[in-house]
């Protein structure tokens, strides 16, 4: 857990005296954190936030006077700054939709305190809350430490033979061009002259601010993508609409591995569909993937892409297995690299390194790997790991990545 020189200050907002006492005990026994106040309803919670200026807030959803979403709308937590808000709420189908609304309103993550199937399990609440406090600490103590610069000589293994026929026929061979489609860096680390567009200059300036100048990998695969795979974790529910809006509907299936519990994935799919006005569905085992549709992997389940017939894909849903992150982006990306003719990988906000190993498989094919600019990510672990490994072919804010994908399909984003 990233530690601050002084304990991070936590405010607890919950209308249950029992939960306030329980959360106070959990936080009080978590190194690096101290409880500085409590509030038993939303209105007093807003006042406490303004008076106490806490680093972290645990926030209930269902409270008298003002609910948790109302608190978020009044406080408007700044992305990447204090207070970092963690929802602690009922783990129910109805609660899932409300919790997703809270994430869209600025909360960074959530902890279930009960479900439709079991009463409050304080041991589970404690374990999950500590993991979310670690995320909060990473946000609050990690942003002033720039990530390590990627190696200028980062190597990508040689491109393997392309798949052929039904089990890789000539129809599946990607078109290869010797000209790179992504900007490269000069030996000094400065963007090459060919990249001196306004957007490239703005991106370079953003990277200078965080001490990161990516060495971008050249892309040899050309043509309209036939499958887009996306990795997303903490901050994803807020980030995905920004990324998807410029590119949807898209002339290829988009499959998203968003780290999320099972009860939330369908609600997130419904929320994205309502927000974007396009087809967003929870993926089903063995069902044909079609263009102009976004597929969200079911929470807690992994999936791999397979070929139903030439140029037609489906997903095989897998149990979580030993994968730390679920749904797992590495598994999804690797299967896309083996199956699709012109796959693309996208790595968005999140802690850890999920998607990095899978991006290496895509890079071996010469495919594009678009990575969120760490300076714009709620948590920059996943984007940074791909950049540090020299696997990113393009780095940008989520909307810019969406526009780039739209251009790859031959239209404006």
Active site residues: 233, 259, 354
How far is it, in rounded angstroms, from Cα 63 to Cα 77?
19
How far is it, in rounded angstroms, from Cα 377 to Cα 172?
35
* Region at 207 (left for phi over 0; alpha for psi -120 to 50; beta for the rest): alpha
Residue found under tokens 């693309």: 344
Please, what sign has the CA dihedral across residues 164, 167, 172, 176? negative
221-222 and 175-176 as β-strands: parallel, antiparallel, unpaired? antiparallel
Alpha helix segments (H runs only) across 76-197: 93-104, 122-142
C-alpha 62 chain-centroid distance: 27
DSSP secondary structure letter of residue 229? E
List 302's β-bridge partners, or say none: 318
Angstrom CA distances, 5 to 28, 31, 39, 195, stand at 17, 12, 27, 40
Q: Which of 182, 315, 294 is nearest to 241 (CA)?
A: 294
Question: Do 52 and 11 form a contact (C-beta atoms < 8 A)?
Answer: yes
């Amino acid at each position: 857990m990233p530690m601050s020189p002084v304990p991070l200050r936590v405010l607890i907002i919950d209308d249950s005296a029992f939960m306030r006492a329980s959360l106070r005990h959990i936080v009080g026994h978590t190194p690096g954190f101290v409880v500085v106040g409590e509030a038993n309803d939303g209105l007093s919670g807003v006042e406490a936030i303004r008076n106490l200026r806490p680093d972290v807030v645990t926030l209930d959803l269902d409270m008298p006077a003002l609910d948790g979403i109302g608190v978020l709308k009044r406080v408007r937590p700044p992305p990447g700054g204090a207070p970092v808000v963690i929802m602690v709420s009922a783990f129910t189908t109805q609660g899932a939709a409300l919790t997703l609304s809270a994430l869209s309103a600025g909360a960074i993550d959530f902890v279930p305190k009960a479900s439709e199937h079991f009463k409050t399990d304080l041991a589970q609440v404690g374990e999950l809350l500590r993991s979310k406090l670690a995320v909060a600490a990473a946000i609050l103590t990690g942003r002033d430490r720039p990530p390590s610069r990627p190696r200028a000589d980062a190597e990508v293994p040689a491109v393997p033979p392309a798949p052929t026929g039904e089990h890789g026929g000539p129809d599946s061979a990607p078109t290869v061009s010797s000209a790179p489609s992504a900007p490269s860096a000069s030996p000094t680390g400065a963007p090459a002259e060919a990249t001196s567009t306004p957007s490239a200059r703005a991106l370079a300036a953003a990277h200078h601010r965080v001490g990161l100048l990516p060495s971008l990998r050249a892309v040899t695969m050309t043509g309209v993508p036939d499958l887009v795979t996306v990795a997303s974790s903490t901050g994803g529910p807020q980030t995905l609409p920004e990324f998807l809006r410029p590119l949807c509907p898209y002339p290829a299936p988009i499959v998203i591995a968003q780290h999320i519990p099972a009860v939330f994935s369908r609600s997130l799919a419904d929320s994205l569909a309502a927000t974007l006005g396009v087809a967003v569905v929870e993926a089903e085992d063995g069902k044909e993937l079609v263009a102009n549709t976004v597929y969200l992997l079911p929470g807690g389940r992994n999936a791999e892409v397979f070929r139903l017939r030439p140029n037609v894909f489906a997903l095989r849903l897998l149990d979580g297995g030993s994968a730390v992150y679920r749904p797992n982006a590495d598994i999804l990306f690797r299967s896309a690299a083996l199956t699709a003719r012109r796959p693309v990988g996208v790595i968005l906000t999140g802690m850890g390194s999920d998607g990095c190993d899978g991006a290496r498989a895509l890079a071996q094919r010469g495919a594009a790997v678009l990575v969120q600019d760490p300076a714009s990510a709620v948590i920059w672990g996943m984007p940074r790991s791909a950049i540090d490994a020299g696997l990113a072919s393009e780095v940008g804010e989520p909307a810019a990545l969406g526009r780039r994908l739209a251009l790859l399909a031959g239209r404006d984003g």
